[in-house]
Structure 1
């Protein structure tokens, strides 16, 4: 069975872990699984390791964030067009038997399934609850569930009580219960390493927020102390909503509880915390089926939890944990367990048995597989016509897209792979796509007024930055792409130095760019220090016409750029030993040659050919028994891609790779390559293992080729890169429309504002643009550049006011707003106005005194031009 599984999340939360377990479990059972994930998804390397084909998409978005209202639906539908279009094309290419959409991306998956006529399963992890989604009407919530079940759609929920709730809507026949599962091999009591200091450690994992309700635990701790319990410590671990985290920390300090709490905002692996804890607590207000409870019980920890939906179905009260309704009850149960260690051990064993019997990942995958098989047997009819009318604007004539591409040197391999090949593909797909390449000597030829996008590859010198500043002054978007981290590498007299360096030119270019595209999480982390508009692209690999076959020889080879001395320090002595031991062995180098081998008669070297196609053809004609990929564990190298793994696999060379993050996340040891520790003995043994084991080498060649063919698609890379380019171009065109239509605007503001002005809003004042003479339907999105703000408990919002009555409103909590970010407030609701109506677009705050500094312009965009002209709200010193 072919399964397309879609998830919009990028972290390591419970919904990510269940998605990972499902994909890996299905792949292990022989199903072909294609997983669609955001570019920065942390579970992607694990899925690749497990034989799952991973496709990245920057279009996937959450539909229903807290604060979502009925009025937001129009904006979300508009925003999802690109995502749905991407999924439709992917479905037609991969031909899945069934589609599974995880969490709130399910509407994109559902719409794409309806268009293509494929069975669809929406995996809903929780219902829209009133204490979170208070701005959504009950009727709207119910309509979403009914939509998912329409047209033969299926719904999977993790808890029986959710099925009962949906059955009340008449959807019972479309809903299946599949409890979440946990990997009982990885999460087991054997990981436990209790400390010897006698401290009773109590753990809770999860986001710091109102719903997780960690604010209850200081009350629990004070109650425990009043009961005479001491010698305990709560460990609270998870990503934080800053305002909630700070308030919790303040409450702990105010009550002198610092030594009883260990607050950590994140850990790489929950096993580290679970293994050193005695008991697990959960204080959530709502929780459908928390994976963290399953992981805790699998590790042999009793759980004391509030009686949420999930806790009631997981915990057997009094056997493997306790359900408590208040801080006082939780304190009583924790004190009881602290005083009875044998009971803790006994409940822990029962907890483990509970997971093995009911909630293992094997049970989870088996049950989900049954639902997939039922869904796949039900034929669906494509419903392309009406869905395309609703979701896609298909223009009869595409306007030309003109791009100026700035590169350091046309002879570099990065130019051929990152610009020439994908951009030529864009031109083949779209006759209106034009691009012109300029190197450093040709910058004077660029006519900015004739282009719609400046695309910069890897270069950040002062002349390039001046071109970028000129483009920005004209409102032309700029994209910057780099596959290396030059915050971690410098050259002195031509020699490289690894470390952490200040690179002001690179920082300036990233801060100016509308988007920066990188290829690793490490480089993303470096780039976001200067701008948060960073996307992680997935590299691709071009494949030969025929699958390569391994040919046994005695040649050891390396292909790489110059200045690789730091990477070869531990390999050179290993190669010298092998050459001394075996006179039949020879070495072959492309590009870099270590000085120790330059005059060795058993060493052959080749310079790089700047023509990539000629070079790669000659490179793949070599007959290497072992291909080397040493990489020192430096900050610069951690930002690199797994290029040599892909090139060696495509050429049919079995590779030996440094056991560092760059390769460790992709290479399976002695399956798709060999990983070697970065020391002489480690490399010596690894090279000999491959060199003198022909059967192993053949298996590596076959498995590595299959892996890169599955995981590093040129088409997927082009889809993401083209999406970034067209998004920037379309945004520019929308801004141009707004500027051209805004001249007739009449301004009404409470105080004069400059281009960089601070405005104190206390819940009564607002900034407004007033209009008259409009007739038709008004809708759109307000984008406010936030340069500074004062955190508060209130909200910032925008609203459409007709004749002094609020007709549409959109708000965002202030604690969700990032400094120096673009705040988007959407109106999905269309408002009908007549020519005699007075219309205002207002920006306001509610509930707290806040200081908002607006830089440049705040404007309403996204107006449906076929209905009314676009409206622009400009804040300037001319107001």
Structure 2
């Protein structure tokens, strides 16, 4: 069991960091199979606040430790500041005692305000993770009372002494000037809790009701709502903006009240006191509005999405990563109140858009932003950190171990990317770290190489004659692993060799391997879940990785934008579904574009003057991709269970070679793509694919942004040095 102390700077739990903190602690500790115990730590609240009641109700053991409020630490009054720093020292000692008492392995600070947690962890030599939702904003400070530079200095120290830095958005990482190549950094978006059956709220010719959950302060930009309301009134539309907020700036609130009265908007813009029952609020409103100047994440976007509410938000940072513009809501400029009013007008003139976008928002939440998904990501990081600690403790004993040699059994080692992306890159990293080696053998030769192996890995092996190799390996006391990168039990009928794969003999062989090896390993968490469900087993996974070389394209077509597709020959038929998009693009842009295909050869290649390359071995494929200089990559996949159980290989390949990709908007790619950031989403219809490819043809700036962002993400997050953690976490016992 890994004991994790999670420290929150406040006991407030109605919204924001406190609400996330409480929901996460309760939900995570309810998981029956979890090897992690979360210990909430927060300041002692007055009058037995809700946080305490809820923890008691759910039998969640918690501890109280005072936390010095940051405004006192940066006060311009020396006596206040001196007293605050003395209290900080005392609080650190209290935190140390709590960590000792709970036998804590890892400490997490919920935001950068829990300085006590970071320094106590450092004192005890415990791993510390800081979770950053945003930044402390200068708008929150009274210039005549506070020295904002002191807080920035304290924050910088906290980040420097932390073992891991987690941000809720890429935007937050940029605000903190965190280089995304920093191996300390991890992106984990906040998950939100939502139970119950929710549906979009129909407008039914009534007043459009808009909800803003916020704070009364300058950064939240509530005055913007007044400007938008005036434009809507001038347009002849009736809209009711309800703002539920706690007041941080009394003077700003007075300004808002005066402006509302001045423009006679009391029935249009209504200021309410903060409300804890957010379910009730979301259900009573059609749309959510975020007018902020800066939001590190903007949790109300996903709270609304979970309840089928679309969001209109300013382009203020975090929401730009969670809202799919035009699909789950709208992203609007900070300085165009009339343009914002026009977005609301769209909902009024076409109420079906509220239904469509609300439904899409709910699906996006289900696919990527639930609390359970968030818990899994944190579990992965925590387990990895703990593994690092254990590996460090066993380095000396590991050096004394005899050399480990894995035998990889594969019929097509030079063709199947599972070998390279799924295993070899990460195993080569293991070789660098340990006294370890591996050998690749064809199935027919495996029996002769058993004596040299400590572990035998069967890669997609479906030959019943190789079952004897597994049985002999087990007889000799060797560990056995079965590795799969596809749902081999459910190969689509149109796929090449489907009759062979789906034959009773092959399926029985697969079942025998899966049920008898020591461990089933897949290339992703979601494929492991599929195997677990199919065979009632407990499998694990190694996250594929890829080395990013410095080879630059050398065969770039002059004055042409090269649009490419790489995939096996089975995909040629499915590409016909969007054939008309290719034809329309070629007709419109003629010699300005060049289509290229590797592997798959669609029936219409002659009609678009495409260059085609036949299937080649994986090393040659990598060399070809490195030299062709594609500008745009196409990743079209039909929305099927089989496809959604695959890994994101196409994203890794395109991004590795700085290719801006357009991806099918299916669950598989939603796990990694942020629309208009590291790729573009296209619905699986001709019109959508035409528009999205054309967008990258004409928008050079966007194309370069996607190319750069995706390349940096793959270089930093999917390199073997990072992904080897998943190997040690799930298979470290076999080394």
Scaled by the length of structure 1, what TM-score is found?
0.42
Quick check: which has more Rg, 1 or 2?
1
Q: Greater helix share, 1 or 2?
A: 2
Q: Greater strand share, 1 or 2?
A: 1
